[in-house]
Protein backbone atom coordinates (compact mmCIF):
# COMPACT_ATOMS: atom_id res chain seq x y z
CA UNK A 1 0.00 0.00 0.00
CA UNK A 2 2.85 2.36 0.78
CA UNK A 3 5.85 3.27 -1.34
CA UNK A 4 8.99 2.14 0.54
CA UNK A 5 11.77 4.53 1.50
CA UNK A 6 14.61 3.44 -0.78
CA UNK A 7 17.34 4.71 1.53
CA UNK A 8 20.20 3.95 -0.83
CA UNK A 9 22.71 6.07 -2.74
CA UNK A 10 23.62 3.43 -5.32
CA UNK A 11 22.28 0.28 -7.03
CA UNK A 12 23.87 -3.07 -7.92
CA UNK A 13 24.18 -3.45 -11.70
CA UNK A 14 23.97 -6.67 -13.77
CA UNK A 15 26.73 -5.81 -16.22
CA UNK A 16 28.59 -2.70 -17.28
CA UNK A 17 25.93 -0.52 -18.90
CA UNK A 18 23.05 -2.83 -17.83
CA UNK A 19 21.22 -1.71 -14.71
CA UNK A 20 17.72 -2.23 -13.33
CA UNK A 21 16.52 1.32 -14.02
CA UNK A 22 18.54 3.06 -11.36
CA UNK A 23 22.28 3.68 -11.11
CA UNK A 24 22.80 6.54 -8.62
CA UNK A 25 20.36 8.38 -6.35
CA UNK A 26 21.20 11.93 -7.46
CA UNK A 27 20.05 10.84 -10.93
CA UNK A 28 17.01 8.84 -9.78
CA UNK A 29 15.62 7.09 -6.72
CA UNK A 30 12.43 4.99 -6.68
CA UNK A 31 10.82 6.91 -3.78
CA UNK A 32 11.50 10.18 -5.58
CA UNK A 33 10.16 8.75 -8.86
CA UNK A 34 6.90 7.81 -7.09
CA UNK A 35 6.64 11.36 -5.70
CA UNK A 36 7.29 12.92 -9.12
CA UNK A 37 4.63 10.74 -10.77
CA UNK A 38 2.09 11.52 -8.05
CA UNK A 39 2.65 15.29 -8.11
CA UNK A 40 2.69 15.42 -11.91
CA UNK A 41 -0.63 13.57 -12.08
CA UNK A 42 -2.16 16.03 -9.60
CA UNK A 43 -1.09 18.92 -11.86
CA UNK A 44 -2.38 17.13 -14.96
CA UNK A 45 1.23 17.13 -16.19
CA UNK A 46 3.26 14.70 -18.29
CA UNK A 47 6.44 15.51 -16.40
CA UNK A 48 7.36 16.34 -12.82
CA UNK A 49 10.68 17.09 -11.20
CA UNK A 50 11.17 17.11 -7.41
CA UNK A 51 13.72 19.21 -5.53
CA UNK A 52 15.28 19.61 -2.10
CA UNK A 53 13.31 22.82 -1.44
CA UNK A 54 11.02 25.29 -3.14
CA UNK A 55 14.04 27.55 -3.65
CA UNK A 56 15.95 24.65 -5.24
CA UNK A 57 13.06 24.33 -7.71
CA UNK A 58 13.22 28.10 -8.41
CA UNK A 59 17.03 28.02 -8.84
CA UNK A 60 16.83 25.07 -11.22
CA UNK A 61 14.07 26.66 -13.32
CA UNK A 62 16.13 29.89 -13.45
CA UNK A 63 18.83 27.89 -15.27
CA UNK A 64 16.49 27.95 -18.30
CA UNK A 65 17.49 31.63 -18.56
CA UNK A 66 20.91 33.08 -19.51
CA UNK A 67 22.56 36.34 -18.47
CA UNK A 68 21.34 39.21 -20.64
CA UNK A 69 17.87 37.71 -20.95
CA UNK A 70 14.92 39.21 -19.19
CA UNK A 71 12.58 37.93 -16.49
CA UNK A 72 9.33 39.82 -15.97
CA UNK A 73 8.03 39.05 -12.52
CA UNK A 74 5.07 39.96 -10.38
CA UNK A 75 6.43 42.40 -7.79
CA UNK A 76 4.77 40.74 -4.84
CA UNK A 77 6.76 37.48 -4.98
CA UNK A 78 7.79 35.33 -2.05
CA UNK A 79 10.61 37.15 -0.18
CA UNK A 80 13.15 34.39 -0.79
CA UNK A 81 12.46 34.46 -4.54
CA UNK A 82 12.93 38.24 -4.60
CA UNK A 83 16.21 37.84 -2.69
CA UNK A 84 17.43 35.21 -5.20
CA UNK A 85 16.45 37.41 -8.16
CA UNK A 86 17.86 40.68 -6.79
CA UNK A 87 20.97 39.50 -4.91
CA UNK A 88 22.08 36.41 -6.87
CA UNK A 89 20.87 36.64 -10.49
CA UNK A 90 20.71 40.39 -11.09
CA UNK A 91 24.43 40.90 -10.21
CA UNK A 92 25.25 38.20 -12.81
CA UNK A 93 23.62 40.22 -15.59
CA UNK A 94 20.11 38.80 -15.65
CA UNK A 95 17.52 41.53 -16.23
CA UNK A 96 14.42 41.83 -14.08
CA UNK A 97 11.29 43.90 -14.47
CA UNK A 98 8.76 43.87 -11.65
CA UNK A 99 5.10 44.56 -12.32
CA UNK A 100 2.17 44.73 -9.93
CA UNK A 101 -0.53 42.06 -10.20
CA UNK A 102 -2.87 44.85 -11.29
CA UNK A 103 -0.56 45.87 -14.18
CA UNK A 104 -0.11 42.25 -15.24
CA UNK A 105 -3.86 41.73 -15.30
CA UNK A 106 -4.51 44.99 -17.18
CA UNK A 107 -1.62 45.31 -19.67
CA UNK A 108 1.12 42.67 -19.49
CA UNK A 109 1.56 42.76 -23.29
CA UNK A 110 2.80 46.37 -23.10
CA UNK A 111 5.68 45.40 -20.80
CA UNK A 112 7.19 42.35 -22.52
CA UNK A 113 9.19 41.81 -25.69
CA UNK A 114 11.20 39.12 -27.52
CA UNK A 115 14.01 39.34 -24.97
CA UNK A 116 11.63 38.22 -22.23
CA UNK A 117 12.50 34.59 -21.51
CA UNK A 118 10.24 34.02 -18.49
CA UNK A 119 7.12 35.68 -17.13
CA UNK A 120 7.26 34.76 -13.45
CA UNK A 121 3.90 34.68 -11.74
CA UNK A 122 2.79 33.77 -8.26
CA UNK A 123 -0.93 33.51 -7.57
CA UNK A 124 -2.28 34.04 -5.01
CA UNK A 125 0.80 36.02 -3.96
CA UNK A 126 2.67 35.76 -0.70
CA UNK A 127 1.95 37.76 1.47
CA UNK A 128 -0.60 40.14 -0.14
CA UNK A 129 -2.90 37.48 -1.68
CA UNK A 130 -3.03 39.25 -5.04
CA UNK A 131 -4.57 37.17 -7.81
CA UNK A 132 -3.28 37.00 -11.39
CA UNK A 133 -5.31 35.90 -14.40
CA UNK A 134 -3.10 32.99 -15.54
CA UNK A 135 -4.88 32.42 -18.86
CA UNK A 136 -4.64 36.07 -19.95
CA UNK A 137 -0.99 36.36 -18.83
CA UNK A 138 -0.07 33.15 -20.68
CA UNK A 139 -1.64 34.43 -23.92
CA UNK A 140 0.34 37.68 -23.74
CA UNK A 141 3.59 35.90 -22.81
CA UNK A 142 3.29 33.28 -25.55
CA UNK A 143 2.74 36.02 -28.14
CA UNK A 144 6.36 37.13 -27.58
CA UNK A 145 7.72 33.59 -27.16
CA UNK A 146 8.20 33.74 -23.39
CA UNK A 147 7.70 30.87 -20.96
CA UNK A 148 5.22 31.30 -18.12
CA UNK A 149 6.10 29.98 -14.68
CA UNK A 150 3.41 29.97 -11.98
CA UNK A 151 4.43 29.54 -8.36
CA UNK A 152 1.20 27.88 -7.25
CA UNK A 153 2.31 27.10 -3.68
CA UNK A 154 -0.61 28.92 -2.01
CA UNK A 155 -3.23 27.20 -4.18
CA UNK A 156 -1.98 23.59 -4.56
CA UNK A 157 -3.25 21.54 -7.52
CA UNK A 158 -6.42 20.87 -5.51
CA UNK A 159 -7.47 24.49 -5.96
CA UNK A 160 -5.75 25.57 -9.18
CA UNK A 161 -4.01 23.87 -12.12
CA UNK A 162 -1.83 26.44 -13.92
CA UNK A 163 -0.89 24.16 -16.85
CA UNK A 164 -4.56 23.76 -17.78
CA UNK A 165 -4.78 27.57 -17.82
CA UNK A 166 -1.86 27.88 -20.25
CA UNK A 167 1.23 28.11 -18.01
CA UNK A 168 4.36 26.25 -19.11
CA UNK A 169 5.66 25.36 -15.65
CA UNK A 170 3.76 25.00 -12.37
CA UNK A 171 6.08 25.31 -9.39
CA UNK A 172 5.62 24.50 -5.70
CA UNK A 173 7.25 24.65 -2.35
CA UNK A 174 6.06 21.20 -1.22
CA UNK A 175 7.13 22.30 2.27
CA UNK A 176 3.74 23.99 2.53
CA UNK A 177 0.31 22.47 1.79
CA UNK A 178 1.48 19.54 -0.32
CA UNK A 179 3.42 17.92 2.53
CA UNK A 180 1.12 19.73 4.94
CA UNK A 181 2.56 18.77 8.34
CA UNK A 182 5.43 21.25 8.87
CA UNK A 183 7.95 18.40 8.99
CA UNK A 184 9.81 18.55 5.67
CA UNK A 185 11.28 21.04 3.17
CA UNK A 186 10.84 20.30 -0.54
CA UNK A 187 10.06 21.67 -4.00
CA UNK A 188 8.54 20.62 -7.30
CA UNK A 189 8.08 21.72 -10.92
CA UNK A 190 5.61 20.27 -13.45
CA UNK A 191 5.42 20.78 -17.21
CA UNK A 192 3.80 19.41 -20.36
CA UNK A 193 6.53 20.83 -22.62
CA UNK A 194 8.86 17.93 -23.58
CA UNK A 195 11.82 20.25 -24.32
CA UNK A 196 11.49 22.04 -20.99
CA UNK A 197 11.04 18.69 -19.21
CA UNK A 198 14.15 17.17 -20.75
CA UNK A 199 16.19 20.22 -19.73
CA UNK A 200 14.76 20.18 -16.18
CA UNK A 201 15.60 16.47 -15.70
CA UNK A 202 19.11 17.23 -16.98
CA UNK A 203 19.43 20.23 -14.63
CA UNK A 204 18.04 18.23 -11.71
CA UNK A 205 20.87 15.69 -11.90
CA UNK A 206 23.50 18.23 -12.99
CA UNK A 207 22.81 20.91 -10.35
CA UNK A 208 22.00 18.20 -7.80
CA UNK A 209 19.40 19.95 -5.60
CA UNK A 210 17.47 16.69 -5.13
CA UNK A 211 15.23 15.59 -2.25
CA UNK A 212 16.31 12.59 -0.18
CA UNK A 213 14.22 9.39 -0.08
CA UNK A 214 12.77 10.04 3.39
CA UNK A 215 11.81 13.61 2.49
CA UNK A 216 10.18 12.33 -0.71
CA UNK A 217 8.27 9.78 1.36
CA UNK A 218 7.04 12.43 3.81
CA UNK A 219 5.63 14.53 0.95
CA UNK A 220 3.97 11.43 -0.56
CA UNK A 221 2.42 10.65 2.80
CA UNK A 222 1.11 14.18 3.19
CA UNK A 223 -0.40 14.16 -0.30
CA UNK A 224 -2.79 11.35 0.62
CA UNK A 225 -4.86 13.81 2.66
CA UNK A 226 -4.38 16.92 0.47
CA UNK A 227 -8.02 17.15 -0.60
CA UNK A 228 -9.56 16.80 2.86
CA UNK A 229 -7.03 19.15 4.40
CA UNK A 230 -7.58 21.79 1.72
CA UNK A 231 -11.35 21.65 2.15
CA UNK A 232 -10.96 22.29 5.89
CA UNK A 233 -8.30 25.02 5.38
CA UNK A 234 -10.68 26.82 2.98
CA UNK A 235 -13.74 26.47 5.21
CA UNK A 236 -11.87 27.71 8.29
CA UNK A 237 -10.28 30.59 6.35
CA UNK A 238 -13.71 31.69 5.11
CA UNK A 239 -14.98 31.95 8.68
CA UNK A 240 -11.84 33.66 9.99
CA UNK A 241 -11.84 36.19 7.10
CA UNK A 242 -15.49 37.06 7.72
CA UNK A 243 -14.79 37.52 11.43
CA UNK A 244 -11.80 39.78 10.73
CA UNK A 245 -13.70 41.83 8.15
CA UNK A 246 -16.25 42.80 10.83
CA UNK A 247 -13.66 43.56 13.53
CA UNK A 248 -13.11 47.27 14.36
CA UNK A 249 -9.39 46.80 15.23
CA UNK A 250 -8.72 45.42 11.70
CA UNK A 251 -8.10 48.01 8.98
CA UNK A 252 -8.39 45.71 5.98
CA UNK A 253 -8.60 41.97 5.26
CA UNK A 254 -6.83 40.49 2.22
CA UNK A 255 -8.52 37.21 1.29
CA UNK A 256 -9.51 36.34 -2.30
CA UNK A 257 -12.71 34.72 -1.01
CA UNK A 258 -14.11 38.07 0.14
CA UNK A 259 -16.18 39.96 -2.40
CA UNK A 260 -14.27 43.11 -1.36
CA UNK A 261 -11.03 41.57 -2.70
CA UNK A 262 -9.91 43.03 -6.08
CA UNK A 263 -8.98 39.54 -7.37
CA UNK A 264 -12.19 37.84 -6.24
CA UNK A 265 -13.71 37.41 -9.71
CA UNK A 266 -10.50 36.05 -11.25
CA UNK A 267 -10.03 33.69 -8.29
CA UNK A 268 -13.59 32.42 -8.73
CA UNK A 269 -12.86 31.64 -12.37
CA UNK A 270 -9.50 29.91 -11.98
CA UNK A 271 -9.63 28.38 -8.49
CA UNK A 272 -11.91 25.75 -7.00
CA UNK A 273 -11.93 27.58 -3.65
CA UNK A 274 -9.95 30.44 -2.10
CA UNK A 275 -7.34 28.74 0.06
CA UNK A 276 -6.20 28.90 3.66
CA UNK A 277 -4.01 32.03 3.65
CA UNK A 278 -5.27 35.39 4.95
CA UNK A 279 -3.41 38.65 5.49
CA UNK A 280 -4.79 41.68 7.28
CA UNK A 281 -3.72 45.18 8.23
CA UNK A 282 -3.61 45.97 11.94
CA UNK A 283 -3.90 49.55 13.21
CA UNK A 284 -0.11 49.99 13.33
CA UNK A 285 3.17 48.08 13.17
CA UNK A 286 3.28 47.98 16.98
CA UNK A 287 -0.21 46.49 17.06
CA UNK A 288 0.75 43.90 14.46
CA UNK A 289 3.92 42.89 16.32
CA UNK A 290 2.09 42.78 19.67
CA UNK A 291 -0.84 40.82 18.30
CA UNK A 292 1.21 38.01 16.74
CA UNK A 293 2.89 37.37 20.09
CA UNK A 294 -0.42 37.37 22.05
CA UNK A 295 -2.32 34.56 20.33
CA UNK A 296 -2.16 31.13 21.96
CA UNK A 297 -3.57 28.68 19.41
CA UNK A 298 -2.02 30.52 16.48
CA UNK A 299 1.68 29.85 16.90
CA UNK A 300 4.15 32.58 15.96
CA UNK A 301 6.24 31.02 13.19
CA UNK A 302 7.38 31.39 9.59
CA UNK A 303 6.16 29.03 6.87
CA UNK A 304 2.59 27.98 6.15
CA UNK A 305 0.33 25.25 4.87
CA UNK A 306 0.57 22.86 7.81
CA UNK A 307 -2.39 21.48 9.74
CA UNK A 308 -1.62 23.81 12.68
CA UNK A 309 -2.51 27.50 12.44
CA UNK A 310 0.39 29.96 12.26
CA UNK A 311 0.59 33.74 12.60
CA UNK A 312 3.47 36.02 11.62
CA UNK A 313 4.63 39.56 10.82
CA UNK A 314 5.93 39.48 7.19
CA UNK A 315 7.82 42.80 7.28
CA UNK A 316 10.12 41.58 10.07
CA UNK A 317 9.99 37.83 9.38
CA UNK A 318 9.31 36.03 6.05
CA UNK A 319 9.61 39.16 3.90
CA UNK A 320 12.40 41.04 5.69
CA UNK A 321 14.47 40.45 2.51
CA UNK A 322 12.05 42.67 0.52
CA UNK A 323 12.42 45.58 2.97
CA UNK A 324 14.49 47.59 0.43
CA UNK A 325 12.11 46.88 -2.47
CA UNK A 326 9.61 49.54 -3.59
CA UNK A 327 6.87 46.97 -3.00
CA UNK A 328 7.88 45.92 0.54
CA UNK A 329 5.18 44.30 2.69
CA UNK A 330 3.22 46.94 4.68
CA UNK A 331 4.68 47.32 8.19
CA UNK A 332 1.27 46.71 9.80
CA UNK A 333 0.55 43.50 7.87
CA UNK A 334 -0.21 40.26 9.73
CA UNK A 335 -0.25 36.95 7.84
CA UNK A 336 -2.29 33.93 8.89
CA UNK A 337 -1.89 30.34 7.76
CA UNK A 338 -5.27 28.96 8.80
CA UNK A 339 -4.98 25.36 10.02
CA UNK A 340 -7.59 22.64 10.31
CA UNK A 341 -8.43 23.08 13.99
CA UNK A 342 -11.93 24.12 15.15
CA UNK A 343 -12.77 27.43 13.44
CA UNK A 344 -14.57 28.55 16.61
CA UNK A 345 -11.44 28.08 18.71
CA UNK A 346 -9.32 29.93 16.14
CA UNK A 347 -11.71 32.89 16.07
CA UNK A 348 -11.95 33.02 19.88
CA UNK A 349 -8.16 33.14 20.15
CA UNK A 350 -7.89 35.95 17.57
CA UNK A 351 -10.71 37.82 19.23
CA UNK A 352 -8.97 37.72 22.61
CA UNK A 353 -5.73 39.03 21.05
CA UNK A 354 -7.59 41.75 19.10
CA UNK A 355 -9.61 42.90 22.13
CA UNK A 356 -6.33 43.65 23.86
CA UNK A 357 -5.29 45.61 20.72
CA UNK A 358 -8.49 47.65 20.85
CA UNK A 359 -7.99 48.25 24.59
CA UNK A 360 -4.40 49.36 24.03
CA UNK A 361 -5.51 51.70 21.25
CA UNK A 362 -8.16 53.25 23.50
CA UNK A 363 -5.80 53.67 26.44
C1 LIG B 1 7.96 28.92 0.86
C2 LIG B 1 7.79 29.42 -0.50
C3 LIG B 1 8.81 29.26 -1.44
C4 LIG B 1 10.17 28.68 -1.11
O5 LIG B 1 10.07 27.34 -0.74
P6 LIG B 1 11.06 26.60 0.29
O7 LIG B 1 10.52 25.23 0.35
O8 LIG B 1 10.97 27.36 1.59
O9 LIG B 1 12.44 26.68 -0.28
C10 LIG B 1 8.57 29.71 -2.74
N11 LIG B 1 7.40 30.28 -3.07
C12 LIG B 1 6.40 30.45 -2.19
C13 LIG B 1 5.12 31.07 -2.63
C14 LIG B 1 6.56 30.02 -0.87
O15 LIG B 1 5.56 30.20 0.01
Q: Determine if ligand 1 sits within 6 Å of the CB of residue 173.
A: yes
Measure 78 CA to ligand 1 centroid, in angstroms.
7
Active site residue 94: no
Domains and their CATH numbers in the chain: 30-223 (3.40.640.10), 226-362 (3.90.1150.10)
The residue whose C-alpha atom lies closest to atom 5 belonging to ligand 1 is 54
Which ligand 1 atom is the nearest neighbour of the CA of 77?
Answer: 13
Candidate list 78, 94, 98, 177, residue with the active-site label: 78
Measure 244 CA to ligand 1 centroid, in angstroms.
26
State the pLDDT at residue 359. 66
Measure 304 CA to ligand 1 centroid, in angstroms.
9
The residue whose C-alpha atom lies closest to atom 4 belonging to ligand 1 is 54
- CA pair distance 278, 58, nearest whole angstrom: 24
Other CB atoms within 10 Å distance of the CB of residue 221 = 16
pLDDT along the chain (363 residues), means of 10: 97 95 97 98 98 98 97 94 96 97 98 97 96 98 98 98 98 98 98 98 98 98 98 98 97 97 98 98 96 97 97 92 82 97 98 79 56
Q: Determine if ligand 1 sits within 6 Å of the CB of residue 267.
A: no
Mark residue 189 as left, alpha or beta (left: phi above 0; alpha: psi -120 to 50; beta: remaining): beta
| Residue 304 φ then ψ, to 5° | -170, 170
Considering the entire predicted model, what is its pTM?
0.96
Q: Tens digits of per-residue pLDDT, 263-288? A: 999 999 999 999 999 999 999 999 99
In sign, the C-alpha dihedral spanning 153, 154, 156, 161 is negative
Amino acid sequence: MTVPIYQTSTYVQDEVGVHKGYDYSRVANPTRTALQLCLASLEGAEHGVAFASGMAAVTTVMHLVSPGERIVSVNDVYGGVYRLFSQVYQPKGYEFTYLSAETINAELAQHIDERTRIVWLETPTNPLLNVIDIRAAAEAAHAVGSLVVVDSTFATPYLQRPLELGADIALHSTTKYLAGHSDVVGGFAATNDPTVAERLYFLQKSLGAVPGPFDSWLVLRGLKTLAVRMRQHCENARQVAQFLERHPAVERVLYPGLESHPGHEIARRQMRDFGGMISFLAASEEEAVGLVARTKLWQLAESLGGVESLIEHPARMTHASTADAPFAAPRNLVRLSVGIESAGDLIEDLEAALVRSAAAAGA
